[in-house]
Amino acid sequence: DADVTQTPRNRITKTGKRIMLECSQTKGHDRMYWYRQDPGLGLQLIYYSFDVKDINKGEISDGYSVSRQAQAKFSLSLESAIPNQTALYFCATSDLYRDEQFFGPGTRLTVL
């Protein structure tokens, strides 16, 4: 089984809808991250969490919110989706004492 899983893998939704993307990990890591990937822009950090009680904004947090339900679960929500949030979304985890990050397979989101 994969160490970092994301659901759904693909989602098509309409402008104004609320969407939740979920991430689960079995690596036992404390740190979890949400990134957005757009062609030619690389990965941009949306939110990150160092433990269940710690949530931090990344460079592009506007229009997004997160919830860290447990050490193993970190969800990303789009409160009211808009077309320019169409992108590939990745969840990642890392160990408290190391900086290598382990990525999930990604969620491809299309907002019409």
Partner 1 sequence: AQSVTQLDSQVPVFEEAPVELRCNYSSSVSVYLFWYVQYPNQGLQLLLKYLSGSTLVESINGFEAEFNKSQTSFHLRKPSVHISDTAEYFCAVSGGGSQGNLIFGKGTKLSVKP
Q: Backbone phi, then psi, for 79, in 5-degree steps?
A: -65, -40
Tell me, letter by letter, the H, E, C secondary structure of 11-61. Answer: EEECCCCCEEEEEEECCCCCEEEEEEEECCCEEEEEEEEEECCEEEECCCC
Single residue of 74, 90, 109, 111 touching partner 1 by CB under 8 A: 90
Which residue lies nearer to partner 1 by CB, 62 or 99? 99
Tell me the window of 17-25, 61-69, 71-79, 103-111 that interacts with partner 1 (CB under 8 A): 103-111
The answer to whether residues 80 and 18 touch, using CB atoms and an 8 Å cutoff, is yes
24-63: which residues touch partner 1 (CB under 8 A)?
A: 31, 33, 35, 40-45, 48, 50, 58
Q: 3-class SS at 72?
A: coil
Single residue of 64, 93, 94, 111 touching partner 1 by CB under 8 A: 94
- Interface residue list for partner 1 (CB under 8 A): 31, 33, 35, 40-45, 48, 50, 58, 90, 92, 94, 99-106
